[in-house]
Structure formats: structure tokens, C-alpha cells
Amino acid sequence: MRAPPNKVSTKGRRKGSSKKVTAKSIKVPSQRSTKRLASRWERIDVQYPGSYEGSNSTPNTVIPPKRVKNQSLRPSMLRQIPEEFHPFIDSLVHVEGDGHCGFRCVAAMLDMGEDEWPTVRQNLIQELDTEFGMYCSIFGIAEANEIRCALHVTSDGPVGDDKWMTVPNMAYIIATTYKVVFMTLAISGCSIFFPLRGSPDPPALHKRMAVAFVNTNHFIGVVLRDGHPMPLTAHMWTYNRRVEAQTWVDPYSARIAAYSAYLTAKHGGGDPSVVDLSEE
């Protein structure tokens, strides 16, 4: 931004005839008028195009990308993701923590933009209603109804924990609704969810999505590089998926087995998917 080339006199009346501003110039009473502050800025813009490109008056507005990725990995967040995934983390997708964070993560990771969380909720309700019998056989009628109640909201404001995204039950619905390989990461354990129905696409076209549960009350998205470990398959998928969906796991079997072996060695043998909750 540069100053006007000529000094502007602010005292008295201009001597001589006043030259009217043409239609091609800025539409203000005079080239030298100081009565409207905006004219000073407008004249600078005309005389020196591009000198004020950051102004709100600029007609071309830069729209931020729908998918927000924070390249600076927060140590506090990383500590809550199993260390074996750290070398493969490209970025973390941080979303607003208003009770809709899980659905915001799904929307952001699908390149819809996190503010499309109502669409995600509605899509999950539609899937649940379409295959209600299947989900009742998996979760039970009472829990299936509870899931539907948790998905339904009547406003776009913050909500309590009764409306949060819950894992593992909603993870099955997410994977099936969007036909994605859905991974959940947490220090307490990691799982992978495949669609319960529908034939898989060729492996090269598979969409993979990962979310991490942090701070005991918040979800963030995790963008992983190729070759990352594959968590253990969610237990109920094996017994409840339809026949046409059984090959979803095939391209990942070797990596899942490798991760299982890693957990076995790390925890000193035994089934890593079993946690002893006895007092002893």
C-alpha cells in the first residue's frame, strides 16, 4: 500500500475549476475530497492495483479447504495414541469439542467439512432404519433404539454425553454407511471396523479413516501414511457381517496378523484382546 502521489490540502476551498470524476474513476465527489475516508483507500486501490489484496472489499474470497489438517502434532494428543502408529501419522484433524466431535471428525475425514456433522448423523439414522432388523440382531432391540436416540438431535448447539458418538456400536454403522475401513485408536485399545454389508470395491479404491479418542471426552481425526499398522478386527463384525462383505478383510489380513503378533510380544503372550477385570 502506497500513499497518494500528491499532498492533499485539507484547508479552504480548491482554487480553479473542480474536475468531475468520470465513470471510469472512483465514484466520489472529488479526487481530492477528504470527506469520506473510504475514498482514500479506494483511490489507492485504483492507482496501485493489488496494493490492498487482503481487504474485505476484495471480490475474490479465498475459501479454506473443507478438510482441516494441523501439521503440528500436539504432544499431549500423541501420548494418547499408541506409539506404534506414531511413525505413520501425517497429521491430526482437530475439530470443535461440542459433543458432536465424533461426527465432525467423520465429516472432515470425508472431505465434507466438519460443519456437515448433521448430515453424518442423518445418514447414520437412515442406515440404521433401513437395516434395523440387522442392527437389532447385533445390539439388541433396546440398544438399537438407544443408538437411534443418541444420533437424533433437535438443535445445532452443544449436546451432552448421551448424544456423543459411541464406539464400538456406532463404528459399525459408520463403516457400513460410508463403505469405509474405519479405525479407532486409543491407549486402551484399537479396532478396525469393516462394512457389515455390501461387496467391497477393489483394494486400491478402499477408503480408510481413523479417529482417536483423547482426553476421555473428545475425538480427533488421524491421517495415516500408507503402510501403517492395522488394528484387530472388531469382534462382532466376524459373526454378523453378511456373506457378500466377508472379503473386506482379505487385503489386510497379513497386516492385522502382524499387529496381533506385535501386541502378543508387547504384552508377554496371551490374547491381547482380552482384558482381566478381576480385583486381583
How sure is the predictor about 30, in pLDDT bands with cuts at 50, 70 and 90? very low
Q: What is the pLDDT of residue 168?
A: 94
In this predicted structure, the answer to whether residue 63 has a pLDDT above a threshold of 50 is no
Question: How far is 176 from 235, CA to CA, in rounded Å?
Answer: 15
* Among 15-19, 33-37, 46-50, the least confident range: 46-50
CATH classification for the domain delimited by 75-266, as one of 3.90.70.80, 3.40.605.10, 3.20.20.70, 3.30.310.10:
3.90.70.80
Residue that has been written with the C-alpha cell 470443535 in this structure: 96
Q: What is the pLDDT of residue 278?
A: 44
Structure-model confidence comparison of residues 274 and 178, the more confident one? 178
Q: Nearest to residue 157, comparing CAs of 124, 117, 119?
A: 117
Q: What is the pLDDT of residue 14?
A: 56
In this predicted structure, the answer to whether residue 252 has a pLDDT above a threshold of 60 is yes
| Residues in CB range of 46: below 8 A, 6 or more apart | 25, 26
In this predicted structure, the answer to whether residue 244 has a pLDDT above a threshold of 50 is yes
pLDDT in tens, 160-219: 999 999 999 999 999 999 999 999 999 999 999 999 999 999 999 999 999 999 999 999
How sure is the predictor about 266, in pLDDT bands with cuts at 50, 70 and 90? confident
In this predicted structure, the answer to whether residue 52 has a pLDDT above a threshold of 70 is no
Question: How far is 25 from 171, CA to CA, in rounded Å?
Answer: 60
Q: What is the pLDDT of residue 49?
A: 40
CB 94 within 8 A of CB 220: yes
Pairing of β 218-224 and β 208-214: antiparallel
- For the chain, the domains span 1-8+15-61, 75-266
